[in-house]
Amino acid sequence: MLSEQTIRIIKSTVPVLETAGVEITKRFYQMMFTSHPELLNIFNHANQKQGRQQTALANAVYAAAVHIDQLPAILPVVKQIAHKHRSLGVKPEHYPIVGEHLLKAIKDVLGEAATPEILQAWKEAYGVIAGVFIQVEEEMYSEAEHQPGGWEGFRAFRVQLKEKESEVITSFYLVPVDGGPVADFQPGQYVSIKLEIPGEAYTHIRQYSLSDAPHNPYYRISVKREDGADSRPAGKVSAYLHEQVKEGDTVWLSAPAGDFVLDEQDTRPVVLISGGVGLTPMVSMLNTLVQRTPERPVTFIHAAVNGTVHALKQQVLETAGKHPQVSAYFCYEQPGEEDRAAQAYHKEGYIDQQWLQTVVPDAAKAVFYFCGPLAFMSVVNHSLRKMGVAESDIHYEFFGPAGSLESR
């Protein structure tokens, strides 16, 4: 337990963390990777270059400071991060390294303002917070290994089938090389895939949502090739998977993880909303719903630039055709002539509140899950709140480090 004095000192640093948090975390990663370059085998290099990892860590540190006197309040965030850590292979021995360089970064950025009392308080607080992470992750590691079909660390999988779904998205059907069963998962979860790319100094690990229902003898991931846009670097892993990995090749996976999951005990109507490749966990949820609770009403809404980049479209249409309780709607930002001729979409432009209200007139009686680009999710979240949907009925997933759909 932390003393009242330590709690008071930590809370006194909240204003500076709000303004200088990202600067501290940027410095932290620079210092840590300089001293421990082997950790680059774990961290996503693209997220580092884009600043997403630094921002996510700054938000987590800020939240910890705000709630330092009531740490159970941040347990949901701890579990979300712990899922990522377990899937990447973060271990207890990594936490002292992180703590050492986080304190160094605080001192380096704040200078004389980082008094010995502040540094000591943060050292004590970090020890308590790290202990919580280690305990939660230990339970997750044990569960992943000892569940039926589970395993420790990374397991070899063979690409049984590689299937092009659109101009930018390809699905990979993966089966265990050892011939054993695969661990079950909850619709919405992801797996981490580890690759050693020729010419790259470090291992690359990426997380991809599972895009089919559980209880199959395979895992399916549907990967978008990231060519780079809007100052974002091109995706080395996605390009390698698309261009180099072939049927019969071996990749390495950690067991399924993630807390963005479908509540299968809920019987209310469910609305699944996605943008771009954010449809992958939504399709997993859709396929699960029609198999396990075929009477539950489902509204599936997907937004894409146009039909050429719309993946898994035919599968969704076939599912809706077979199951009367499923309604599917497509929104295309820039529909092409073929899209218009086929009338396979229901709205031109962007998803907005006015259109959502026509598609889901009883929104307050439904539960919502959505995933996609950050700006897309912000609009959906804002629209749902305006439509009277309770916060507890709104669930969403960030691809990559957690961001925020609300201003602080």
Q: Give tens-digit pLDDT for 356-367.
A: 999 999 999 999
Answer yes or no: is 190 a known binding residue.
Answer: yes
Residue with tokens 């740490």: 71
In this structure, of 79-83, 146-150, 189-193, 342-346, the range with the lowest mean pLDDT score is: 342-346
Would you call 137 a catalytic residue per the annotation? yes
Give the DSSP per-residue string, 96-157: HHHHHHHHHHHHHHHGGGS-HHHHHHHHHHHHHHHHHHHHHHHHHHHHHHHSTT--SS-EEE
Cα-based torsion angle of the residue sequence 7, 51, 350, 346 in order, rounded to the nearest 10 degrees: -100
Residue with tokens 């001192």: 107
Q: Give the active site residue among 137, 165, 226, 397.
A: 137
Token pair of 249 as six digits: 């090749």
Answer yes or no: is 207 a known binding residue.
Answer: yes
With cut-offs at 50, 70 and 90, classify the pLDDT of residue 9. very high
Q: Give kind and range of the element (H or E) at residue 195.
A: strand 190-195
Dist CA 325 CA 321 (whole Å):
9
Number of other residues whose CB lies within 10 A of the CB of residue 346: 14
- Given a cut of 80, whether residue 328 has pLDDT beyond it is yes
Burial label for 90, CB within 10 Å (0-12, 13-18, 19+), is buried
Per-residue pLDDT of 306-323, as tens digits, reads 999 999 999 999 999 999
Task: Using the Cα atoms of residue 71, residue 367, residue 370 and residue 44 in order, give the sign of their dihedral.
Answer: positive
Dist CA 26 CA 53 (whole Å):
9
Per-residue pLDDT of 366-388, as tens digits, reads 999 999 998 999 999 999 999 99
Answer yes or no: is 154 a known binding residue.
Answer: no
pLDDT, mean of residues 203-220: 96
- Given a cut of 80, whether residue 28 has pLDDT beyond it is yes
Per-residue pLDDT of 240-272, as tens digits, reads 999 999 999 999 999 999 999 999 999 999 999
Per-residue pLDDT of 154-170, as tens digits, reads 999 999 999 999 999 99
pLDDT score recorded for residue 341: 83
Answer yes or no: is 383 a known binding residue.
Answer: no
In order of their start, the domains of the chain are 4-146 (1.10.490.10), 155-253 (2.40.30.10), 270-397 (3.40.50.80)
Q: Give the active site residue among 95, 141, 173, 332.
A: 95
Answer yes or no: is 277 a known binding residue.
Answer: yes
pLDDT score recorded for residue 1: 79
pLDDT, mean of residues 112-133: 94
Would you call 124 a catalytic residue per the annotation? no
| Angle subtended by helix axes 75-88 and 52-66, to nearest 10 | 140
